[in-house]
Structure 1
Amino acid sequence: MTGKDVPGLLEASDVIPAGTKINVTFLGNEDLAMRIAASQAVLDHGFVPVPHISARRLSSQAQLEEYLGALQQIGASKHVFAVGGDPATPEGPYEDSLAVIRSGLLQQYGVREVSIAGYPEGHPDISADVLWAALEDKAKALAEQGLESTILTQFAFDTTPVMQWITEVRERGIQTPIRIGTPGPAGIKRLLNFARRFGVGANTMIVKKYGFSLTNLMGTAGPDRFVTDLSGMLADQPGSGEVKLHFYTFGGLRATAEWAGNFVNPKA
């Protein structure tokens, strides 16, 4: 959720299981007060906030400490998601999320688990070699600091590259739990817009495999086939380690939560 999604959280709170982790974004058009208010709302409704730390958006160490301190004050600093962020040029001293991790500040403000980014289909602006080196370095740095970690991935429509990426993660000796980014049910046009924005594969064959067609953009699509197929692949490859899902709520928090509940416990 974003800082602006508090009303959507309130609307969906009765269908989200207690204790669910809910990520709170760090957007350039939102301020500290909005981010803290969103994390507070997550806590108030019995969920676990995972505030994002956008390294390249931080203008100074003081800003990072102010943010972490405010999170700690409300009891929302235990879990965070450290990500590089969008700006082409860092706005302060942190070039990437590894710089934030290596700062040593996270533990000082009560952080116990750090999510880090994974890109099963690569990144439009970063080479594969750089992505792999960064993932290995971050996993190693967190382990050395005694912090728990989770790899949280970009969303995808195609299970094949996702499964290949999971296999390579494990072959590289990274045993960190993985949460695969999964789009919640949303309008097809909206899903395609996000795919173009983040460099996610969405050609005709991929979206057909996912469960919708590029010739009919007026409907909605959910991840039923994606989740079912990925589950089968993981069952056939027991060396995959701990792999769960992370939902991107493009169609809204409530729609995603209701889909997940119905998928696990189908209505008669």
Structure 2
Amino acid sequence: MISFIGKRDNGGAPTGAGLQEIVQGFSIEVMPRTAAKVEDFRALLPEGTRVYIAHIEGTPIEEMVATAKRLAEDGFPVMPHFPARIIKDKATLEEWIKRYQGEAGVDQALLLAGGVAQPHGDYHSSMQLMESGLFDAHGFKRLHVAGHPEGNRDIDADGSTKLVDEAIRWKQAFSERTDAQMAIATQFAFEAEPVLEWIAGLREAGVDLPVHVGIAGPAKLQTLIKFAIACGVGPSLKVLQKRALDVTKLMLPYEPTDVLADFAEAQAIGTRPGVAQVHFFPLGGITACAEWARKHGAQPMKAAG
């Protein structure tokens, strides 16, 4: 039972105690170029934090594996992205899996289509990666898949969620015939209600995969709006647009305090299915995001002597 979560003061602001438990156990996303700017992850992140490594088109696999190795050696579980549309063929996929496993001890992955219009080779969806059988053959224990509570125009160009929803149901069926631990990691959103409604719809459709909700970390408002538009964030973008019209808030950095308090409050009430975990997209920088999480209760590892 979560206690005091979602509690707000008389002015409507969420209290620190109300955020602490929902922040615990968060995961975070990095890229090789952003990770290179961090001197010591152990001084920033709580012990055991899962670190996703985003694989952007054009990033050499050598840089991805080197980043995974560094994080693993620092004691963090590492979950690299496998974007289907930038993987040439099955031989390439197996090479990546073997390198992550052999050089960095990786046994978990986030499988996604990837934001590339034209596939580089044989794959165009995460389902094809799953069907390859390679992750099972090489002993991967955990597979996460992407979730899009506000739709994904790369898949459903008409703005619906028909194909996205069909894919999620397929992945649910796959989870029932595999030993891998599976979960859904969502695109970031700025409003809790659409995500909670989406989760409720999943449960009604028989999809019981845990949902790790994507949350944008602290950042300048202009930065967030740019990323939100580029990443196809849907209706919850209006939260940022409304904030941009308020001159008293325009120059202040965005923080995820309100949206997380709303998620936490919903879970405390317990009338609807909630989220299993928070996953941070540190769009304003890894350090700023980690420090915000620490401020709200997350404890970093002690640096090695």
Aligned ranges for residues 1-268 of structure 1 at < 5 Å? 1-127=30-156, 128-201=161-234, 206-207=239-240, 212-216=243-247, 217-240=250-273, 243-264=276-297
Secondary structure in 2 matching 1:254: helix
**Structure-1-length-normalised TM-score:** 0.92
How far does residue 265 in structure 1 lie from its aligned partner after superposition? Answer: 6.5
Tell me the secondary structure at the aligned position of residue 264 of structure 1.
coil
Please say if residues 157 and 201 of structure 1, whose CA atoms lie closer than 8 Å, have aligned partners that are also in contact: no
CA distance in 1, matches of 2:226, 2:181: 33
Q: Letter of the aligned partner of 2:95 in structure 1?
A: E
CA contact (8 A) 1:55 1:83 kept: yes
Decide which moves more: 80-89 or 1-10. 1-10
Distance 1:192 1:87 in 2: 21
Q: Which has the higher contact order (CA 8 A, sep 6+)?
A: 2
Equivalents in 1 of 2:41, 2:255: separation in Å?
A: 18
Q: TM-score, normalised by structure 2?
A: 0.81
Could you list the per-position Cα deviations for residues 77-133 of structure 1 after superposition, in whole angstroms to 9, with x for gaps in the alignment?
Answer: 311000001222221111200000011001122211111011111112323110000
Distance 1:13 1:2 in 2: 17
Residues 265 and 52 from structure 1, CA distance in 2 versus in 1: closer, same or farther, beyond 3 angstroms? closer
**Residues 31 and 205 (structure 1), Cα distance of their counterparts in 2 relative to 1, 3 Å cut:** closer
Q: Which amino acid aligns with 2:233?
A: V
Q: What is the number of equivalent residue pairs in this alignment?
A: 264
Superimposed CA distance per residue, residues 38-65 of structure 1 (whole angstroms, 9 cap, x where no aligned partner): 1011112211110000101111111111
3-state SS of 1:230 partner: helix
Q: Say which SS state the counterpart of residue 192 (structure 1) adopts.
A: helix
Matching residue's letter, 1:79: Q
Provide the alpha-carbon RMSD of the alignment. 2.0
Whether the 8 Å CA contact 1:12–1:257 is kept in 2: the answer is no
Structure 1 residues 263, 204: CA separation in 2 closer, same or farther (over 3 Å shift)? same
Q: Distance in 1 between matches of 2:275 and 2:229?
A: 29
Q: Which has the larger displacement, 165-174 or 198-207?
A: 198-207
User: SS of the counterpart of 1:10?
Assistant: coil
Residue 193 of structure 1 aligns to a residue whose secondary structure is: helix
Instruction: Report the CA distance between 1:76 and its aligned residue.
Output: 3.5
Q: Is the 8 Å Cα contact of residues 117 and 153 (structure 1) preserved in structure 2? A: yes
Q: Give the structure with the larger helix fraction.
A: 1
Q: Does the 8 Å contact 2:189/2:236 carry over to 1? A: no
Classify 1:8/1:171 alpha carbon distance in 2 versus 1 (closer, same or farther; 3 Å): farther
Instruction: State the secondary structure of the residue aligned to 1:221.
Output: coil
Percent identity reads 28
Q: CA deviation at 1:254?
A: 1.3
Question: Structure 1 residues 106, 265: closer, same or farther in 2, change over 3 A?
Answer: closer
Residues 142, 235 of structure 1: CA spacing in aligned structure 2 closer, same or farther, 3 A cutoff? same
Shift of 1:231: 0.8
- Structure 2 CA distance for aligned equivalents of residues 75 and 108 of structure 1: 18
Structure 1 residues 12 and 69: CA distance shift in structure 2, 3 A: closer
Alpha-carbon distance in structure 1 between the residues aligned to 2:67 and 2:57: 15
User: Runs of 5+ in structure 1 lacking a partner?
Assistant: none
* Alpha-carbon shift at residue 206 of structure 1 (Å): 2.0
Question: What's the offset of the Cα at 1:204?
Answer: 8.0
Q: Tell me, yes or no, if the aligned pair for 1:118 and 1:152 is still in contact at 8 Å.
A: yes
Please say if residues 86 and 121 of structure 2, whose CA atoms lie closer than 8 Å, have aligned partners that are also in contact: yes
Instruction: Show structure 2 runs of 5+ residues with no match.
Output: 1-29, 300-305
* Matched-pair contact (CA < 8 Å) for 1:54–1:84: yes
Rounded Cα–Cα distance in structure 1 between residues aligned with 2:57 and 2:241 = 34
Cα displacement (A) at 1:10: 2.8
